[in-house]
């Protein structure tokens, strides 16, 4: 498995708009086992995204999906920056969806 997690800062006041875009774009992504979008509890502009994929190839391919490309274009003006990111290798747990074929 392949994973990533990271914190994104929205332009002040735009976190909810950015969250909506992130959720809209993540509907159907081949090989995606988990993609959870969360508000940071302490920073009103910060969003955490945690991801698990069956492979890095499927993660990389997701960035070329039409709905993801469209979301990236819409999201760009709402993003102030990124911090605290890490690559991971998920090993198991609760809530790893079955990967759709793709």
Residues that bind a copy of itself (CB under 8 A): 1, 3, 5, 7, 19, 23, 26, 29, 32-42, 48, 50, 52, 84, 86-97
Q: How far is the CB of 92 from a copy of itself (least distance, A)?
A: 5
CA 34: distance to chain centroid? 9
Burial bucket for residue 39 (CB in 10 Å: 0-12, 13-18, 19+): middle
Give the integer Cα–Cα distance in Å for 44 and 42.
6
The nearer residue to a copy of itself, 36 or 80, going by C-beta atoms, is 36
The nearer residue to a copy of itself, 64 or 89, going by C-beta atoms, is 89
Q: How far is the CB of 38 from a copy of itself (least distance, A)?
A: 4
DSSP state of 29: -
């Amino acid at each position: 498995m392949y994973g990533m997690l990271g914190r994104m800062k929205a332009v002040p006041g735009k976190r909810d708009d950015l969250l909506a875009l992130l959720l809209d774009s993540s509907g159907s992504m081949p090989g995606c086992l988990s993609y959870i979008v969360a508000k940071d509890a302490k920073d009103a502009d910060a969003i955490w995204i945690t991801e698990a994929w069956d492979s890095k190839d499927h993660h990389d391919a997701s960035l070329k999906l039409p709905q993801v490309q469209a979301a990236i274009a819409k999201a760009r003006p709402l993003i102030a920056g990124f911090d605290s990111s890490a690559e991971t290798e998920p090993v198991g747990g609760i809530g790893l969806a079955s990967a759709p074929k793709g």
